Chain A
């Protein structure tokens, strides 16, 4: 159990800077998810914490101890790899006990700890099998078992679920959450899947090209994205983001269509400002089919043509054409629609976002 602290951590390969001096404080027993598109430096950051990559600059502290130059084995961490990295020439039992064998733990103690881990993860039946005889989900569990056997200070997960099919992924996600509730240690979890990050983490770190864009609870990064990158990355389907110019109390889009400037941004913008307008599909909906239907304070209604619909059963994603492009909206209690229909759409402007087109930063606060 330990805190992890990254100070001005950076990584450079030759002239290419992969991680640009990031700062991050992770509390004891916290579940932190690092998310971002591929190449954003999240895996490199994790590997630096693990000691598998040298750091170019800055500091890594684990449990108050600086570990910058310590080899992986001296950091008391466990890691679950994307590929699972089970030792193919050993049985599940040997895989689980390997770290203890290397550490010279006595046989009896080792058997007890392997049995504990195997009980937690339901591996008892599989102990004498080899990794090649296991299914994907079973391998995943063995990989997690191998990590918990060591009783580490920090668990590192490197996209552990990305090799599983959709159903198994959801199932293992729940198992990871249960596991964290049971073993209560600090977890750093790397994923490119924002749903995984949202469902699992206490706090989410959103990274982009080696910088941290925002750190916050799932609710914070969803409701109050700090930049338009975060706004577009978190949430599914993603937020509608379109460039506009402030003019005469309105937002004028490039195609000529316009919307009233939401009240909360009036004091924060001036005429001529270039901004990015953002609205989630939940806050842009066919009139009468929204989340907050009835209770809105600042609604703008327009009639728009439907260009395509994606029925999902309990809801339908409606792509409506506004300003020459498709804007996605979420229709609750769906009714059948077809392309070309004109329907009344509501923009809940009190929940809209505005970002500076120049810096990408939110103008909310």
Chain B
């Protein structure tokens, strides 16, 4: 066998090994997700079995049917939770991204007094564990009378997300050459038009990623929500999971079913937005 044939064979073998490796890695990462879906479809006995039952004996949608069956029939107000989650997550994401764009742009483009200190300050807020703030926040909200309201949750989540969105969007605006906005101004744009016509489209992947991250943070957040919400007025889906715990029992199957219901919108949204996450759009703007 000549050298080339054996090199070709080696390359093929490596490709196969590479793919098998990737498959195993993905399987490992995907396992918890698969386990949740499986667990939502099978009886508690099977879920709790030791050693674990890998291949389900019977599958049923009972948990899903029960979930939507209303109070008293094993149901929980899932639609209310869903609505709350959606309102709170979407609103706070929109606000956080708007502030993030303004802030990120300012940090990327302008020089002002105390800029680096301010930036550091924003980052430092991320170092405080959210749960540590939940008690003070609770007292504050009680005084203000915004406990168990959408507004209260939105405020908390905006505060949680703004430092992150500013930081992320700042990085993307930095990559947009300053010359482009200046060229646009010479081409007849106002400062505002130059932003929307040139800089915004180029930073869009960054803004889209900031939006996804902010949305997912709100959608999945449990610690603060469990403190600041009380009833169907504002309880979000992650807090809703607790409805499946009773004094002596935990309905694992129901809980998994609700988890699946929670995952679907997040997955869909990420899928829709991901095509905007194409990087490298700025290539060709300037020399190189």
A interface residue numbers (CB < 8 A to B): 50-52, 71-73, 77-79, 81, 83-89, 98-99, 102-103, 130-134, 136, 139, 146, 150, 163
Cβ-based interface call for B177 (8 A):
yes
Partner of A73, one of B185, B197, B201: B185
Least Cβ–Cβ distance between A114 and chain B, in angstroms: 13
A88 and B185 contact, CB distance less than 8 A: no
B187 and A102 contact, CB distance less than 8 A: yes
CB-CB < 8 A to B183: which residues of A?
Answer: 79, 81, 85-87, 146
| Contact of A85 with B185 at beta-carbon distance under 8 Å, contacts A71-B190, A73-B190, A102-B193 already known | no
CB-CB < 8 A to A99: which residues of B?
Answer: 187-188
B281 and A83 contact, CB distance less than 8 A: no
For window 184-231 of B, CB contacts with A under 8 Å fall at 184-191, 193, 197-198, 201-202
CB-CB < 8 A to A52: which residues of B?
Answer: 182, 185-186
Cβ-based interface call for B55 (8 A):
no
Q: How far is the CA of A43 from the CA of B191 in the complex (A)?
A: 21
B185 and A71 contact, CB distance less than 8 A: yes
CB-CB < 8 A to B283: which residues of A?
Answer: 88, 132
Q: How far is the CA of A163 from the CA of B286 in the complex (A)?
A: 10
Report the contact-size class of chain B (Cβ under 8 Å from the partner).
20 to 34
A87 and B285 contact, CB distance less than 8 A: yes
B interface residue numbers (CB < 8 A to A): 177, 179-180, 182-191, 193, 197-198, 201-202, 281-287
Q: How far is the CA of A130 from the CA of B282 in the complex (A)?
A: 11
CB-CB < 8 A to B286: which residues of A?
Answer: 83-86
Most chain-A Cβ atoms within 10 A of its Cβ — which of B182, B183, B188?
B183
A130 and B190 contact, CB distance less than 8 A: no
Least Cβ–Cβ distance between A154 and chain B, in angstroms: 11
| Beta-carbon nearest neighbor of B280 in chain A | A132
Least Cβ–Cβ distance between A292 and chain B, in angstroms: 43
Q: How far is the CA of A136 from the CA of B287 in the complex (A)?
A: 7
List 22 contacting pairs A-B, 8 Å CB cutoff, sorted by A.
A71-B185, A73-B189, A73-B190, A83-B179, A83-B287, A84-B287, A85-B177, A85-B179, A86-B183, A86-B285, A87-B184, A87-B285, A88-B180, A88-B202, A88-B284, A89-B201, A89-B202, A103-B188, A131-B284, A139-B284, A146-B187, A163-B287
| Contact of A81 with B185 at beta-carbon distance under 8 Å, contacts A88-B281, A131-B285 already known | no
Partner of B198, one of A87, A150, A163: A87
B185 and A98 contact, CB distance less than 8 A: no
Least Cβ–Cβ distance between B127 and chain A, in angstroms: 35
Q: How far is the CA of A20 from the CA of B156 in the complex (A)?
A: 53
CB-CB < 8 A to A132: which residues of B?
Answer: 283-284
CB-CB < 8 A to A88: which residues of B?
Answer: 180, 202, 281-285
Q: How far is the CA of A132 from the CA of B283 in the complex (A)?
A: 6
Q: How far is the CA of A132 from the CA of B202 in the complex (A)?
A: 14
B186 and A72 contact, CB distance less than 8 A: yes
A78 and B285 contact, CB distance less than 8 A: no
| Beta-carbon nearest neighbor of B198 in chain A | A87
| Beta-carbon nearest neighbor of A131 in chain B | B284
Least Cβ–Cβ distance between B125 and chain A, in angstroms: 32
| Contact of A73 with B202 at beta-carbon distance under 8 Å, contacts A85-B286, A88-B282 already known | no
Partner of B180, one of A85, A134, A136, A163: A85
Least Cβ–Cβ distance between B214 and chain A, in angstroms: 24
Q: How far is the CA of A72 from the CA of B183 in the complex (A)?
A: 9
CB-CB < 8 A to B281: which residues of A?
Answer: 88-89
CB-CB < 8 A to B198: which residues of A?
Answer: 87, 89
CB-CB < 8 A to A72: which residues of B?
Answer: 182, 185-186
Least Cβ–Cβ distance between A134 and chain B, in angstroms: 7
Q: How far is the CA of A89 from the CA of B204 in the complex (A)?
A: 11
Most chain-A Cβ atoms within 10 A of its Cβ — which of B179, B191, B193?
B179
B180 and A73 contact, CB distance less than 8 A: no
Q: How far is the CA of A347 from the CA of B197 in the complex (A)?
A: 62
CB-CB < 8 A to A84: which residues of B?
Answer: 285-287
Partner of A50, one of B177, B186, B285: B186
Least Cβ–Cβ distance between B104 and chain A, in angstroms: 19
CB-CB < 8 A to B285: which residues of A?
Answer: 83-88, 131
Least Cβ–Cβ distance between B246 and chain A, in angstroms: 56
A102 and B186 contact, CB distance less than 8 A: no
B182 and A81 contact, CB distance less than 8 A: yes
CB-CB < 8 A to B180: which residues of A?
Answer: 85, 87-88
Q: How far is the CA of A73 from the CA of B186 in the complex (A)?
A: 5
CB-CB < 8 A to A130: which residues of B?
Answer: 284
Most chain-B Cβ atoms within 10 A of its Cβ — which of A88, A133, A146, A150?
A88
Least Cβ–Cβ distance between B14 and chain A, in angstroms: 32
Least Cβ–Cβ distance between B248 and chain A, in angstroms: 60
A102 and B179 contact, CB distance less than 8 A: no
Q: How far is the CA of A303 from the CA of B183 in the complex (A)?
A: 58
| Beta-carbon nearest neighbor of A158 in chain B | B179
B187 and A98 contact, CB distance less than 8 A: yes
Least Cβ–Cβ distance between A135 and chain B, in angstroms: 11
| Beta-carbon nearest neighbor of A104 in chain B | B188
CB-CB < 8 A to B191: which residues of A?
Answer: 71
CB-CB < 8 A to B190: which residues of A?
Answer: 71, 73
CB-CB < 8 A to A146: which residues of B?
Answer: 183, 187
Q: How far is the CA of A98 from the CA of B201 in the complex (A)?
A: 14
Q: Lowest 4 CB-CB distances: which A-B pairs, in order?
A: A132-B284, A83-B286, A131-B284, A99-B187
